[in-house]
Structure 1
Amino acid sequence: MSEFEKYTIDIAAHPMLDRAKELGFLTTFDRAKAQEPRCTFGNTGICCRICLQGPCRILPKKPGGNKGICGARDYTIVARNTVRYIAGGAAAHSDHGREISEALLHTAEGHFKDYQIADTNKLMYVAKNIGVETEGREINAIAKEVANAALDEYRRIDENEEVTWLKSYIPENTLTIWRKTTIMPTGINLSLAKLLHQTHVGNDSDPINITFGGLKAALCDLDGSHLATDLSDILFGTGVPVVTEANLGAIKADKVNIAVHGHNPLLSQMVVKAAKEMQEEAKAAGAAGINLVGICCTGNEVLMREGVAIATNFATQELAVLTGAMDAMVVDVQCIMPSLRSVAECFQTKIVTTSPIMKIPGSYHYGFDEAHAMDSAKEIIRLAIDAYKQRDQAIVNIPNVTNKVVAGFSLEAMLNIFKKVNPEHPLRVIADAIEAGEIKGVAALIGCNNRKVTHNYNHTIIAQELAENDVLLLAGGCSAQAHALSGMMNGEAVQKYAGEGLKKFFARLNAVSGLTEDLPLMFHMGSCVDYSRMQLFANLLAAEMGLDLAELPYAVSAPEAMSEKAVAIGSWNVCCGNPMHVGVNGPTVGSQLVDDVVTKIAEDVFGGFFFWEPDPHKASARMIDILKERNWKNVMRKKARDAKAAN
């Protein structure tokens, strides 16, 4: 195995890493290597830095070393550190949702002229779901009330009033568990503020109480994510199946190349719209036109709705610049490497930051003005056109690697396909396949990239082995992009990787889907906030099968979990009753007590649980066993019910 093959399985990345070496630029892969060996204390969660007396470590062989200076034990330190990850992740996703809510409000009020209500059907669905009256009312009046209901999730301070979105779509039996365990949130901002207070030095030292405070914050992450997805669909349209391509070959040498990168579609959707209007300006500069590509979850957003190609995912974002053909990388928030500015210095590439809370020293900052969104987007695109004029075509080196991608599977799009088999009960299509043993269940493939493992390897191995064992796959976030880059998000991948049962399932759907392409090996459901689509899918499937969420043959895998958001996402999945695989050691392993709570005791309370498994083969085998066990238990329960009814 070559040096670069140890870094990543993406063949398009290898020549770019070679180019980086020639230029003397140290990529994220080099920087990760420089960090080795990792600090054991930090890696296991037993380094405490929440006051200025520390940092404190647990050193059991020293007198007094089994506690921090204040007397905090390992379980207190680990619990505090873990829930502060959750708070950071929930704040990121929820703030995303707040920005979308404000945009919808200002659009409905007529202040944001360049935005409009794109999906009135979704607006009516959401309004009905959260109790907003629609009969005889104007669209903008309904949208304004829905937006205000979303904003109320943040500003609510009455601790007796639960958040609306979770209450409106989570099954009642799950809500009952959350209420009994006191983790049902009220206001998002209130819950996050209380958690940070709870974990301040000299406050809560009970690891169980701290953990439950963290789970309340995790549910805020789910609430904020779900409303962000709903309101983004209303503003920009709900995804429908699209055919495009993925990998660095999507960057075109003869065009002005612009990458949209980050997480919030408010900016990227407008850049897509502006680019369509500015093709002639690019041609006047000598280019063949404007080419947009996506990176990370902003890329997933515009892929779902506009069919924009994926260039790469989190770990290899620097390599898009190293092609020498990237004229501008336009970023908003989250998962953006500060090093992008350094690599851009080698080329003409302009790194453009647009958010007041995400700036990179030396980059171009264009404060994105939603009230004049189109003007802002056009100004950014003209910067890219000017950069194209400065491009040295002699140093352009774009790997000739792309793979076909069939994506755009919002829950609505999936249900529309299933309805062609069963119009009245679309999810009965999946339920029947599970109950007949044709497929074993459903797995959601999610998460980030993490330089502790080989880039994209664990993602692809787990997906291939689950598919081979007839597990239906959903995908989102950087995990989905890993599969897109590897050529696993098209119909050909079904024939290559799927088991016989899964092939038969897809064959039935392909016969009626009405799509020009066969369905892909997995359903791409969007960005990381769109994992809420996956949970809604699980809710509806459980209802169709007459099961609690904790009984559903459904599991989740984050093979390369990396960010604070990943900790929050994993935690709400556990609260929803989902077995949650993480492919790196969790932040709880420094305390046996806390680790047992999240990997064992959690199942007794919620039905879901974490398990840490870095070996992708062992991880996929464990997930298959979990699905089999849940199916077996469901069969046994049915037999018991039938026997009772017969008597």
Structure 2
Amino acid sequence: MEKEKKKDELVQLNIKETTMCDATAQMLRKAEKDGVETAFHRAATMKACPIGADSACCKHCSMGPCRLNAKDPYGKVGVCGATIDTIQARNFARMVASGAAAHTDHGMSMLDLFREVVNGHIKEYRIKDTIKLEEVCREIGIEVEGRTPEEMAMDLYHELERTYTQVEGEIPFAKRVPEKTLETWRKHGVVPRGAMREIMELMHRTHMGVDQHYENITKQCSRTALSDGWGGSMVATEISDILFGTPVPVRAEVNMGCLKEDEVNVIIHGHEPNLFESMLDSVNDPSLIQAAKDAGAKGINLVGMCCSGAEMLSRHGIPHAGNFMSTEAILITGAVDAMGVDVQCIKQGLAKVAECYGTNLFTTNPRCHIEGVEHIQFEEHAPRECTDAIVERAIVRFKNRKLPIEIPQIRNLGVHGFSHEYINYMLGGSFRSSYTPLNDNIINGRIRGVAGVVGCTNPRVKQDWVHVELVKELIKRDVLVVQTGCSQIALAKAGLYTPEAAHLAGAGLREVCETVGMPPVLGLGSCVDNSRILIACAEMVRVGGLGESIADLPVAGAAPEWMSEKAISIGHYFVASGVYTVFGVTFPIVEGTKFHKLLFEGLADMGFGTWGFTPDPYEMARMMVAHIDAKRKALGIDKSRERVLMDMASRRDLEAA
């Protein structure tokens, strides 16, 4: 009776305007039939605060909260006298600080694991990619000749530790930054020292009564964001590659059809690859497989979600069930026997949905507990204790399934795992691995430019739609697209991760894709793996022909459906690195203010990139292509030239020369 009453009260969504993911749509219809609420329903019944959305409020002390009028931003000030520009800059900076802290803490966790592995204190993980280890050591000045992997790794640990703890100097990966870009950072005093110091100082500056000039706050905001992109996130990516293997292209499936009704389904959702790597061992343990068969299952089916799922998709070809806004929907299938979560992008609403469908939901990380959810602590020194326990509980749940199962029979096959290293190899081959063919084909116009389309999904817009429409528009205009995170899964579900999708690209990009045998959209991994895009940009500058700094490149970035503070940090470290970056959905600044003008115009005048905003994917594509074309014109490559594609014969000729 209680359930029927709730079913009557549950808002009925316009499903076609809510998501373009057919599997999620099917599960939302089932949720409404079952009387189960999701984030989509809550968003439909909860209006976003217009003052907060414009960042025209301040609650940093108890004299407020102070609410300013976005329509008359200079009509009044806060109780302490803070102007709209100070208030907005503080709010924006705190989003950057929080987002950078999330990535930095994740990176430090990976570095802690690395230290324990190198010291021999953890035996369950090992260094898998010694070539990557050597390459990273060389790039930051660590001697590699005649040394063991353990010796190099220990030096690398101590060097990368400075990324977090250093109070003066420049973070280690500043050595990867193009010289002219680094000169701009030094000129404006934004080269990161250590992430802990930058985040701490930014939080201090945004305290009531400290920094009260939006330009000065933005300076530290940039420094903090850069400590994320070229620091915490980059460390997380590089250490993950060294420990677990650098991704190479793999064919893998995404979407909810990856669940199997006759198997024990285990989902891992979050951002820490060490949990997922251990779970991979657990589900392949012969004794646990036999236990599953004894319970009546054909086997154990491991599936990923969100960013750790994207890493395992790229690294091992593990199927991926869906992005952030589908994490509740997949539980509605009734087929998920256990979901283990760690940190970041974990909805508290999962607890209620899991309870409704009898799914075992477990938190595993000390940073993230959920009220009413059982916690099984994951310890790197004994990881299988946690992951085996989750599998065992999943087997029990499979044996005692009571509710009907409904799995959307939709699976989308694609090619994933395009790390920076593989792109380098793919373009130049084993003996001349290089970005030269990419640069050459940008210079001759076959490829117009490169766009990074990344970020979250947000229930304030139709799920996946802005991502998909934007990318279709970009590749149609010969813009090569690289992706990370939830955006990657949106495009994979839309079928754009196959080489055959090249028929949707413009003539120039299509020819490159067909020659190389690649999709027009390349998936790089999780949201911390945006650092791969930074490395690629630096390599494009190093190879030559496209300017002397990242700000010279014909590249652009976008987060069409962003929702988290991590996205703001990511966006700002791309802007501070020199990349024009466009966000969708909404933007937390009042248009027409001095702070808005600084971010959307002034930073570019200082030699950085600049921000852009529009919720419309077609306008977003137009803005990004216009920027790319302006950069081509500035480089003098906007006129037609002889278009030469670097095929294998051309590479051999170069080698002979």
Q: Distance in 2 between matches of 1:45 and 1:2?
A: 28
Q: What's the CA shift for 1:61? A: 9.5
- 1:545 aligns to 2:544 (yes or no): yes
Post-superposition Cα deviations, 1:115-158, rounded to whole Å, max 9, x if no partner, equal 1001011111111112222233322222122122222221222x
Match of 2:521 in 1: 522
The normalised TM-score by structure 1 is: 0.94
* Preserved contact between residue 354 and residue 368 of structure 1 (Cα < 8 Å): yes
CA offsets, 1:429-472, max 9 Å, x none? 11121122111011111011122211100000001011111111
CA distance in 1, matches of 2:397, 2:372: 16
Amino acid in the other structure paired with 1:436: N
Output the CA distance in 1 between the equivalents of 2:312 and 2:570: 22
- CA distance in 1 between counterparts of 2:58 and 2:443 reads 49
CA contact 2:226–2:577 (8 Å) conserved in 1: no
Q: Is the 8 A contact 1:469 1:499 kept in 2?
A: yes
CA-CA distance at 1:64 after TM superposition: 10
Query: Structure 2 vs 1, CA of residues 509 and 526 (structure 1 numbering), >3 Å: closer, same or farther?
Result: same
CA RMSD of aligned residues (A): 1.9
- Structure 2 portions without partners, runs of 5+: 1-11, 641-657
Q: Tell me the CA shift for residue 348 of structure 1.
A: 2.4
Where does structure 1 lack aligned partners over 5 or more consecutive residues? 511-518, 640-647
Question: What is the aligned partner in structure 2 of residue 406 from structure 1?
Answer: 415
Q: Which moved more, 1:546-555 or 1:452-461?
A: 546-555
Distance 1:336 1:261 in 2: 8
More displaced stretch, 588-597 vs 546-555:
588-597
Provide Cα deviations, 1:320-378, integer angstroms capped at 9, x if missing partner.
Answer: 10000001111110001001010011122111111111011111201101001123221
* Residues 87, 115 of structure 1: alpha-carbon distance in 2 compared, 3 angstrom cutoff: same
Which among 177, 200, 224 is matched to residue 217 of structure 1? 224
Offset of residue 63 of structure 1: 13
* Alpha-carbon distance in structure 2 between the residues aligned to 1:605 and 1:60: 27
Q: What is the CA distance between 1:52 and its match in structure 2?
A: 1.4
> In the alignment, which of 437, 446, 453 is matched to residue 461 of structure 2?
453
Q: Is the Cα–Cα contact under 8 Å of residues 178 and 541 in structure 2 kept in the other structure?
A: no
Task: Give, in whole Å, the separation in 2 of the partners of 1:456 and 1:238.
Answer: 28
Deviations 1:167-191 (A, max 9, x none): 2211111111111111111111011
In 2: Cα distance, 1:629 partner to 1:60 partner: 32
Deviation, 1:636, is 6.6
For 1:481 and 1:376, the matched residues in 2 are separated by 27
- 1:25-76, Cα deviation, whole Å (9 max, x unpaired): 111111001112x222101001101111211011489999611111101000
Map residues 280-429 of structure 1 onto 2, 5 A cutoff.
280-392=290-402, 395-420=404-429, 423-424=431-432, 426-429=434-437
1:121 paired with 2:131, answer yes
Aligned to 1:333, the other structure's residue is in SS state: coil
State the one-letter code of the partner of 1:401.
I
Letter in 1 for 2:467: H
Tell me the amino acid that sits aligned with residue 54 of structure 1. G
Counterpart secondary structure, 1:523: strand
Q: Partner residue of 2:654?
A: none
TM-fit CA distance, 1:626: 1.3
Structure-2 residue corresponding to 1:563? 564
Q: Quick check: 1:257–1:291 contact (8 Å CA) kept in 2?
A: yes
The one-letter amino acid of 2:40's match is F
Counterpart contact for 2:258–2:319, Cα < 8 Å: yes
Is 1:191 the counterpart of 2:201 in the alignment? no
Residue 643 of structure 1: aligned partner: none
> Which amino acid in structure 2 is aligned with residue 316 of structure 1?
S
**Structure 1 residue 315 displacement after superposition:** 1.0
Q: Residues of 2 paired with 1:285 and 1:355: CA distance?
A: 29
Instruction: Please state if 1:9 is matched with 2:9.
Output: no
Trace 1:457-496 onto structure 2 (pairs within 5 A).
Answer: 457-495=465-503
Moved more, 542-551 or 187-196: 542-551
Partner of 1:28: 39
Alpha-carbon distance in structure 2 between the residues aligned to 1:338 and 1:590: 33
Matched residue of 2:246: which SS? coil
User: 1:423: how far off?
Assistant: 4.3
Tell me the residue number matched to 1:514: none
2: CA distance, partners of 1:462 / 1:275: 38
Q: Is 2:451 the counterpart of 1:443? A: yes
**What residue identity is the alignment partner of 1:481?**
I
2:508 counterpart of 1:507 = no
**Corresponding residue for residue 631 of structure 2:** 630
CA–CA distance in structure 2, aligned partners of residues 153 and 483 of structure 1? 33
Aligned partner of 1:313: which letter?
N
Q: Does 1:171 align with 2:171?
A: no
Report the CA distance between 1:638 and its aligned residue.
11
Q: Residues 63 and 487 (structure 1 numbering): CA distance in 2 closer, same or farther, change over 3 Å?
A: closer
Q: Partner letter of residue 501 of structure 2?
A: A
Between the aligned partners of 2:434 and 2:137, the Cα distance in structure 1 is 22
Counterpart of 2:602? 601
Indicate yes or no: 2:240 matched with 1:226: no
From 99, 121, 141, the equivalent of 2:151 is 141
CA displacement at 1:607 relative to structure 2:
3.8
1:272-305 deviation per Cα after TM superposition (whole angstroms, max 9, x unaligned): 1221123233222211111111111011111111
Aligned to 2:67: 57
Question: How many percent identity over aligned positions?
Answer: 38
Deviation at 1:312, TM superposition (A): 0.6
Distance 1:85 1:250 in 2: 35
Aligned to 1:513: none
- Which amino acid in the other structure matches residue 360 of structure 2? K
Deviations 1:218-259 (A, max 9, x none): 011111100110000011000011111111111111111111
For residues 134 and 263 of structure 2, the distance between their equivalents in structure 1, rounded to whole angstroms, comes to 40
- Rounded to whole Å, the distance in 2 between the matches of 1:303 and 1:225 is 19
Separation (CA, whole Å) in 2 of partners of 1:620 and 1:550: 19
State the SS of the aligned residue for 1:208. Answer: helix
Judge conservation of contact 2:86–2:213 (CA < 8 Å) in 1.
Answer: yes
1:284/1:606 CA distance change after superposition, 3 Å = farther
1:612-631 aligned at under 5 Å gives the runs 612-631=613-632
Cα pair 1:462 1:620 within 8 Å, conserved: yes
SS of aligned partner of 1:209: helix
How many Å separate the matches in 1 of 2:571 and 2:341?
26
User: Contact between 1:577 and 1:607, CA under 8 Å: does it hold in 2?
Assistant: yes
Tell me what 1:247 maps to: 255
Partner of residue 201 from structure 1, selected from 208, 229, 250: 208
1: CA distance between counterparts of 2:389 and 2:433? 48
Structure 1 residue 424: Cα displacement: 2.9
Aligned-pair distance for 1:591?
A: 6.1
Could you tell me which amino acid in structure 1 is paired with residue 316 of structure 2?
E
Secondary structure at the residue paired with 2:321? Answer: strand
Instruction: Tell me the TM-score normalized by structure 2.
Output: 0.92
- Relative to structure 1, the CA distance from residue 591 to residue 50 in structure 2 (aligned partners, 3 Å threshold; closer, same or farther) is farther
SS in 2 for 1:556: strand
| Equivalent residue number for residue 644 of structure 1 | none
Question: Aligned to 1:606, what secondary structure does the other structure show?
Answer: coil
Deviation of the 1:616 alpha carbon: 0.5
Q: Distance in 2 between matches of 1:459 and 1:467?
A: 12
Structure 2 counterpart of 1:271, from 279, 293, 308: 279
